[in-house]
Structure 1
Amino acid sequence: MIKLEKATLKRSLGLWAIVGLGLGYMTPTIVFDTFGIVSNETNGVVPLAYLTALVVMLFTAISYGKMVQVFPSAGSAYTYTRETMSPLLGFIVGWAALLDYILLPMVNALIIRIYMVSVFPSVPAWIWVVIYVAAVTGLNVWSMGKTSSLNSLLVVFEVVLIAAFIVLAFVKLSQGMGQGTILTTEPLFHSNIHLGAILTGATVVCFSFIGFDAVTMYAEEAVDQKTLPRAIMLTVFIGGAIFFVCGYFAQALFPDVSNFKVTDDTLPEIGLYVGGQFFKLVFLAGAFAATVASGLASHASVSRLLFVMGRNGVLPKKLFSYVHPKFRTPAFNVILVGVVSLLAIAPSLELISSFINFGALIAFTFVNLSVIAHFVFRHKKYKTGKDIFSYIIMPILGAGTTGILWYNLQADALIGGLVWVAIGLIYLMFQTRFFRVKIADFAFDDAEKSSAL
């Protein structure tokens, strides 16, 4: 007889499957949606904003790569903070990160609803939300492998369409559209650019990179855990390259946004101007596929975070640490995320969408601090120049550059995030009887810990 509590997550994900999940989470086509906004913010140097954001994200990605080798658990920033600083602080970081992870599937459901209503305006909006959420939830319960396979197909479709855009942009530039030349420095530098504008634009596009951190959530489902650091860096570099190249060609084609009727979401018009009505429809199909891919990946990621928090006992263990004995997926968590995603039936989620940034920044900041806490304070890795550079300077740069994003965080997102953290603290006080009872510790198997200290 199978004991439900002994069931474990299934190791079924190879390197490229994990990278595909990370890219799916990042939604590469978002570069076209936000092009008008970023072009306005930066005075027409969108690719430079992405390049700046890539540099900022690399420091934090390197820190994620270090920590996932030491703690090969699905908990990501929550686990790293918990194990290097304190279980109480780890809970707060995990709780804050939940705001990022649990809201993104809901936002994806909202975007799908908007797409479908625009095509079928006579059909009630709630029907599309229910159908989409049911499909994504069912697939995530059934199999992580199947989720990954469908995600990979959708990501490939996105990449093919992005390649088609580049080819069409090449032709249009050759014919004199925009800058009228393929090789131009105008999208990267011109007399009207300012450092402040570039940093503001970089702050906006940095959140396009959210997803590389979610790669660490699949640590316990990776066929080989040693591939996780490579998967993180590949996700950042591939995603960054796509953003930069697409941003370059889009900016070369559209030196300013005067041709766009709607600058808040320029993807449809970019498709129209570059390839005509047919390509516009195909481009929209790609955006739809990108949203579904992001929905699949984000749904899977938050389910794993809830699973680890349940396994550690900071959430009700019987429910949140449950693994389906046949499918070997955290079925309760997947279904719970699906139920929360149904809130996308509501008419507007603009404010909720902005809260995502708060949770992501909490995670980014504490992953960098975890590197210092683990390697410097616990293992005294500060006696050589290499150690100082790797375990002090690099994570400080990661935390410092993340601070730039904190400075530019919307006031509504900051207030809402602090309210969410306050709720978590109240829950934590209830669980620990005002901190008189210790949070149950999850004991890592020594064999799972990295020897690369």
Structure 2
Amino acid sequence: MSQATQFVRSLKLRHLLAFGLAYLAPTAIFNFYGIATELSGGMMALAYLVTLVVMFFTAYSYAQMVKAFPVAGSAYTYVQKSVHPYLGFATGWVFLLDYMLLPMICYLLFGIYMEEYVPAIPTAIWVLLAAGFGAVMNILGARVSGRLNIAVVSAQIIFAVVLIGLITSYVLQGGGAGGLFVPEAIYNPETFNFGNVMWAASILAVSFLGFDAVSTLAEETHQPTVTIPRAILIMCIGAGLGFATIAYFLQIAWPTGYAEFEDPDTGIFELLPRIGGEALNITFFVADQAASILCAMAAVAAVSRVLYGMGRDGLLPKRFFGKLSPRFGTPVNNIVLVSVAALGAVFFTDNLLGATSLTSFGAITGFIMVNIAVINHYFVRLRRRSGMDVIRYLVLPLIGVATNVALWVSIDSSAKMLGITWLIIGVIYLGFMTKGFRRLPAQIRSEDEVGDDESTRSLEVPSADRS
């Protein structure tokens, strides 16, 4: 195959971790601080721990599916090949909602904060500049942007560690909670509300999307069936524990902040001056602005590859979506399209919570389907039902389904209505593409014809996985 029709395998574990961290952005917790702290009644750390438990089971399912199908389509491919092509399309379509909105949110945060510091330039101009830069870096390829990821992600981690040190000094000197060990910073019976904590957790699920994004780079990674599962689990567990720890320290720094924010969308800018003055605000501003751009770049990279997978299979127009640049080896058409779509961020300037909730709808719906894919692929079709296989391929994915459903129910009602509307549009489009659901796209048909007997049978599992 020519360079124009396949990716170049150049990524290793460190590149995947840097990409995943860039996607979830270690400083993203500070952007969600005001919203999640207010919703949870000061128990953002608890909300993150709940989200970590849910995401762990889903991360495990992703690790199993990438072993079976180490290709660029991520959740779309897993469900398409292991459950049914039509459900695969629906999963990919819903995930597009998440992937398309996340760059918008990142660019929106960048624009809002930049306008705060440079009022003469409106948010829309900042969004346009950031989206243009992100598009160029993605076109140049994952390895080029990966070098930038490593540098900026390292700066974000350093900032978080320094901030924890400053909060420690602050509370030991009598500020905030006045001590380091405060159980109410995790669970406060006076303000605890199960529904609100779950609502906060459903929003914070967006913070974990780095492990999912890593799976979209399967065709650009050395030994993907080994390297990507390792990166997925490291990303999920490490990010969850890290976020919960930071959230705990933020809470003890301002125990009553959840009831005193002037504007929850920018709550972190009300907290930081209490700890380190305006200098800390500016330091965070610089680190977080770089993080917002990197997060958007990683999201664009991920969705462009999902679109490529769907285009390659003929579920989207192949000439546009299923094409790689001969020069750069990247899906340039998709990158440009997603970057242009991200400019829609300007319409959510006054509704950050709404945009985030809608993103959660796409992500959590896709996560449910990936857990189902594990059960159908391994437990049902391959009959992996002996000994620990029952735990691996039935019990753990079922827990993943149940916990994600609990988060899905907690998503804002208006976001669910918009998400379901988006899904209905996708189903109508699929019906048109398949002549009333009477046939499969040519690419999927040709793959499935080499299977057992039915057009919806999954592909053979690689020998390394069978062993």
How would you bin the TM-score normalised by the shorter chain? Answer: over 0.9
Which one is further off, 157-166 or 198-207? 198-207
The alignment status of 1:343 with 2:308, answered yes or no, reads: no
**% identity of equivalent residues:** 35
Residue-by-residue CA offset, 1:242-285 (whole Å, 9 max, x unaligned)? 21111111111111115543333321122211111111111111
Q: 1:364 aligns with which of 348, 364, 367?
A: 367
Taking structure 1 as reference, are residues 331 and 422 closer, same or farther at Cα in structure 2, changes over 3 Å only? same
Alignment-derived partner of residue 204 in structure 1: 203
Residue-by-residue CA offset, 1:374-416 (whole Å, 9 max, x unaligned)? 01110111232x1111111100000000011111121211111
Alignment-derived partner of residue 233 in structure 1: 233
- Secondary structure at 1:373 match in 2: helix
| Runs of at least 5 residues in structure 1 that lack an aligned partner in the other structure | none
CA RMSD in angstroms, aligned pairs only = 2.2
Alignment-derived partner of residue 101 in structure 1: 99
Alignment-derived partner of residue 78 in structure 2: 80
In the superposition, the TM-score normalised over structure 2's length comes to 0.91
1:190 Cα deviation after fit: 4.3
Taking structure 1 as reference, are residues 450 and 259 closer, same or farther at Cα in structure 2, changes over 3 Å only? farther
The one-letter code sitting in structure 2 at the alignment partner of 1:253 is A
Q: 1:433 aligns with which of 426, 432, 435?
A: 435
Alignment-derived partner of residue 401 in structure 1: 403
Taking structure 1 as reference, are residues 235 and 11 closer, same or farther at Cα in structure 2, changes over 3 Å only? same
Residue-by-residue CA offset, 1:346-392 (whole Å, 9 max, x unaligned)? 464734443212211221000000000001110111232x1111111
Q: 2:35 aligns with which of 37, 40, 57?
A: 37
The number of aligned residues is 450
| Runs of at least 5 residues in structure 2 that lack an aligned partner in the other structure | 451-458
Residue-by-residue CA offset, 1:60-110 (whole Å, 9 max, x unaligned)? 110001001110011111001000111111111111111111121122222
Alignment-derived partner of residue 213 in structure 1: 212
- Secondary structure at 1:121 match in 2: coil
Alignment-derived partner of residue 266 in structure 1: 267
Alignment-derived partner of residue 67 in structure 1: 65
Alignment-derived partner of residue 291 in structure 1: 292
How far, CA to CA, are the matches of 1:223 and 1:349 in structure 2?
43
Residue-by-residue CA offset, 1:314-365 (whole Å, 9 max, x unaligned)? 1111111111112111111111112212223446473444321221122100
Alignment-derived partner of residue 91 in structure 1: 89
- Secondary structure at 1:304 match in 2: helix
Would the aligned equivalents of 2:203 and 2:357 in 1 still touch at CA under 8 Å? no
Alignment-derived partner of residue 21 in structure 1: 19
- Secondary structure at 1:452 match in 2: helix
Would the aligned equivalents of 1:87 and 1:439 in 2 still touch at CA under 8 Å? no
Alignment-derived partner of residue 420 in structure 1: 422
- Secondary structure at 1:437 match in 2: coil
Taking structure 1 as reference, are residues 259 and 345 closer, same or farther at Cα in structure 2, changes over 3 Å only? closer
Would the aligned equivalents of 1:314 and 1:440 in 2 still touch at CA under 8 Å? no
1:216 Cα deviation after fit: 0.5
- Secondary structure at 1:123 match in 2: coil
1:123 Cα deviation after fit: 2.3
Residue-by-residue CA offset, 1:197-256 (whole Å, 9 max, x unaligned)? 543443332332222211100111112211101100111122112211111111111111
The alignment status of 1:53 with 2:66, answered yes or no, reads: no
Taking structure 1 as reference, are residues 374 and 349 closer, same or farther at Cα in structure 2, changes over 3 Å only? farther
